[in-house]
Amino acid sequence: MDAHDTPLLLPTVQVAHPVAMTPVVVASPHSGSQYPATFLESSHLDLETLRRSEDGFMDALLSDAPACGAPLLRANFPRVYCDVNRAEWELDPAMFTENLPPEALTDTAKVRAGFGMIARKAGLGHDIYKRKLPISEAALRQTQCWRPYHTTLATLIHHAKVRFGHCILIDGHSMPRTTAVRAMPDIALGDAHGTSCAPELMVIMEQFLRERGYAVARNHPYAGGYVTQTYGRPHAGIHVVQMELSRPLYMSERNHQPNRHFAQTRQDMAALIGHIVEWSEHFGKSRMVGATGIEPVTPAV
C-alpha cells in the first residue's frame, strides 16, 4: 500500500487552554496512542509491544495544567510513528528505499540506536518494519505530525513571551523500569546540562518534588532531547525543562493501566505546575529575560 493511503490522524495535536494566561506551557509529546492501520500492517510487532514506547498517561497526569493557567499541548500520534523530540530529518538511511536529502541527520546517537524521527526499533529493541519505507512516508509524517506539533509549540511559546516577557516550558515524559541505570530516580529533570533554563527553575522544581517524597535526579539518566536543546534559550527568556517520571510510580508496565498511585501522582503534578506558575510571576524580569525586545519563536525546522 502506498504511503499516501495512510489515513490522516485528525487532529494530530491538541491544545487545552490555548490562550496564554501565565508564562508557563506544558507539553506531552509522547503519550499519543492513535495508531494508523497501515502502520500496524507494516510492522512485525503487535500493538502491545509498540505501546511500550509510549509515555503512557503522561497527558492525563498533566491534564490539570489548564486549571493552573498553563496551556497543555499533546500529540495524538504515537512516538514510534513520529518522534517530535527528534530533528525533522533525523533518520536512518537504511530504513528507506531512496536516498535521504543532503540535510538529513543520519549519524546521530539516536539514529544509531534505532530511535530517529521515524523509529527503527521499539519495545526491547525489536525491529518495527517488515520492509523498507519510501521517502514519501517520511514526508507524510513530517507534514501530518512533526510540523503541526512544532508549529503549535512555537506559537504557544511566542504568545507567552509576548504577553509576559518570558516563557517556561515543562516537557513531560516517562521512563520505563530498567536495570541498566543504577539508583533509578522517581523523577529526572533535564536542562541540557545547565543550558536550557535559568538555574533557579531547576532548584524550585527539585525542592518541591523532594518535599513531596520523590527521589529526584538532574540530567540523569536523561538530560533533555531535541525540544529542550532547541527551544531552551534562557538568554532570550525561553526556559525549558524535560521532566521524566518513572512509570512504576503511576502505572503498570505489564498491562499498561494506571496503578493505585496514579491519582496522587496527578495531584502532585498539578501542585507542581501551580507552584511553577506562582513562582514565575515573581521571578524578576531582568533575570528571566536577559534580552531586550520580543523576537518571534519559529518552529525548529
What percent of the chain clears pLDDT 90, i.e. is strictly above it? 82
Please, which pLDDT band fits residue 183 given cuts at 50, 70 and 90?
A: confident
Q: Which residues neighbour 71 within 8 Å (Cβ) at sequence distance 6 or greater?
A: 15, 16, 17, 18, 19, 20, 25, 26, 65, 156
pLDDT exceeds 70 at position 288: no
Using the 8-state DSSP alphabet, how is residue 93 labeled? G
Q: Mind listing the pLDDT tens digit for each residue in 21-47? A: 999 999 999 999 999 999 999 999 999
State the cell numbers at 38: 497501515
Residue 32 · residue 78 · CB < 8 Å: yes
CATH of domain 3-82+148-288: 3.40.630.40
Alpha carbon distance 196, 217 (integer Å)? 16
Closest CA to 72 of 81, 63, 80, 82: 63
Alpha carbon distance 235, 291 (integer Å)? 6
pLDDT exceeds 50 at position 290: no
Q: Phi then psi for 176, rounded to 5 degrees?
A: -75, 155
Residue whose grid cell is 507542581: 272
User: Across the chain, what does the average pLDDT equal?
Assistant: 90
284 C-beta neighbours (distance < 10 Å), count: 8
Assign residue 183 a region: left if phi > 0, alpha if psi is -120 to 50, beta otherwise?
left
Alpha carbon distance 286, 301 (integer Å)? 30
Alpha carbons within 13 angstroms on the beta-carbon side of residue 264 total 10
Q: Phi then psi for 189, rounded to 5 degrees?
A: -105, 125
- Is the entire prediction scored with pTM above 0.95? no
Residue 292 confidence (pLDDT): 36
Identify the three-state secondary structure at position 239.
Answer: strand
Please, which pLDDT band fits residue 281 given cuts at 50, 70 and 90?
A: confident
